[in-house]
């Protein structure tokens, strides 16, 4: 699956089952996630290819614009100070 991003995003990728390979243009190595692994990516205007290595896989991604992600960081600090 080819993908292309045209904005500044923070992406959380959760791979629940199977294996996923991600190749981003400009990176020299492929990034791989196996079952029950996750990662956090930051990118601006990136593009690449995502490959599912197997017949069965389960995964999901959550994406935030950078400005919204920074709001979460501030709220975490506030809650930590109050609790």
pTM of the predicted protein model: 0.67
Q: Which pLDDT score, from 0 to 100, does residue 79 have?
A: 63
Average pLDDT over residues 56-81: 79
Q: Among candidates 9, 30, 19, which has minimal Cα distance to 59?
A: 19
Q: What is the pLDDT of residue 83?
A: 62
In whole angstroms, what separates CA 23 from the centre of its chain? 13
Is the model's pLDDT at 78 over the cut of 70? no
Mean local confidence (pLDDT), 12-40 = 86
Residue 4 has pLDDT above 90, yes or no: no
């Amino acid at each position: 699956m080819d993908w292309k991003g045209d904005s500044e995003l923070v992406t959380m990728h959760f791979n629940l089952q199977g294996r996923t390979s991600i190749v981003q243009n400009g990176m020299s190595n492929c990034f791989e996630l196996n079952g029950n692994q996750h990662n956090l990516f930051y990118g601006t205007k990136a593009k690449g290819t995502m490959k599912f290595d197997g017949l069965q896989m389960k995964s999901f991604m959550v994406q935030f614009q950078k400005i919204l992600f920074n709001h979460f960081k501030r709220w975490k600090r506030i809650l930590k100070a109050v609790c």
